[in-house]
Amino acid sequence: MQATVQWVGGVAFEATSESGHKVLMDGAPAYGGENRGARPMELILLGLGGCAAFDIVTILKKARQDVTDVRCELKAERADEIPAVFTKIHLHFIVTGRGVKDKQVEKAIHLSADKYCSASRMLTKGDVEITHDFEVVEAV
């Protein structure tokens, strides 16, 4: 995997992924940023949520669960000192569907966290405490 990060002025950078997608990153105004893009640490958090949600959808579909929506809400805490690494992250999954079984959602979350989600595995090896919970909503 490869990527390029190009400085575009101030403390803003344009990142280009190997697949050609672009993301604008910018620092907080307190650090000279103009709020033109997400902060790099926000992108790490978003990546974790995307990786985990992808796994949940894929695993539940393979388990023949009638999933119509998956939402992952994340809350993170960072260290007070520099580097201000993540210390705790909580993922809350809201799974909507018809007749979706709690047990299947719980199993999918554990498989994602313990086996499939590269982002989760990388962060936990860096001593980040990651917790999960979920709710199942019956589709109307």
Segment 40-61 mean pLDDT: 98
> What are the domain boundaries of the chain?
1-38, 40-138
pLDDT number for residue 12: 97
What token pair was written down for 52? 């985990």
Split at pLDDT 50, 70, 90, the class of 100 is very high
Candidates 2.40.50, 3.40.50, 2.40.128, 2.20.25; correct CATH number of 1-38?
Answer: 2.20.25
Residue range 74-95: mean pLDDT, rounded:
97
| pLDDT confidence of residue 92 | 98
Contact indicator for 82, 31 with CB cutoff of 8 Å:
no
Residue type (1 letter), 138:
E
pLDDT score, position 46: 98
CATH superfamily ID and name for 40-138 = K homology (KH) domain (3.30.300.20)
Is the distance from CB of 111 to CB of 55 less than 8 angstroms? yes
| Mean pLDDT (whole number) for 33-57 | 97
> Residue 124's pLDDT is what?
95
What are the C-alpha distances in Å from 8 to residues 11, 88, 94?
8, 32, 37
47: closest CA among 105, 1, 103, 80?
Answer: 1
User: pTM for the complete prediction?
Assistant: 0.94
